[in-house]
Amino acid sequence: MSRLILYLLSLGIFSFSCKKGDVDANSDPQGYADSQVVGIWKITAVNADIAYDWDGNGIPETDLYPALSVCDKDNLYTFNPDKTGSFKKNCNSTQPGEWQIYQSSTLIIIPATAPAELQKIISMTSVEFVTTVQVVAPSGQTITLSKTWSRQ
């Protein structure tokens, strides 16, 4: 009988010591990896958090994509695995450059002959991601633009 109690006690201690640690779920952003961005992407939507008359027609809007010219909608961003890329921002301008993900949350695009662009990544799937960037409108308001990028 004492042997049975010893076995049960040993089994209980062994089971308790093998219990995996608890992992608490949290809502902290987990970050994004370079490998998620590699590929060819096109900006397919641009939205503002505050309505503003972006196209000068007297009507404030938050959906800016329809107001973009055909050439501004003709964009392709190629992000290579070696962090080089080519960035076609409109009909007649493709520039080589570099890119990186900074601190797992900011996409930095560095065209060869233009200033760097920093965009915070808000969400990402295998076929689409969303970034935000703050701009100052001609009125002086700070407005957050959201850009939706679609994999090509």
Phi, psi (degrees; rounded to nearest 5) at 120? -80, 130
Q: What is the CATH number of the domain that holds 58?
A: 2.40.128.540
pLDDT at 5 over 50: no
Q: What is the average per-residue pLDDT within 134-143? A: 91
Provide the 10 A C-beta neighbour count for residue 97.
19
pLDDT at 19 over 60: no
pLDDT for the residue 6: 42
pLDDT at 47 over 70: yes
pLDDT tens-digit readout, 84-97: 999 998 888 899 99
What is the domain extent for residue 76?
32-151
Is 13 part of a structural domain of the chain?
A: no
pLDDT for the residue 56: 85
Ranges of H-type helices in the chain: 2-17, 34-37, 70-73
Angle made by CA atoms 132, 42, 91, in degrees to the nearest 5? 115
**pTM here?**
0.77
Is 4 part of a structural domain of the chain?
A: no
pLDDT at 21 over 80: no
Is 22 part of a structural domain of the chain?
A: no
Provide the 10 A C-beta neighbour count for residue 50.
12
Is 86 part of a structural domain of the chain?
A: yes
Token digits of residue 139: 């009125």
Is 14 part of a structural domain of the chain?
A: no
Domains held by the chain: number: 1
Please report, to the nearest 10 degrees, the dihedral formed by the alpha carbons of residues 129, 118, 113, 99 taken in order: -60
pLDDT for the residue 25: 60
Provide the 10 A C-beta neighbour count for residue 121.
20
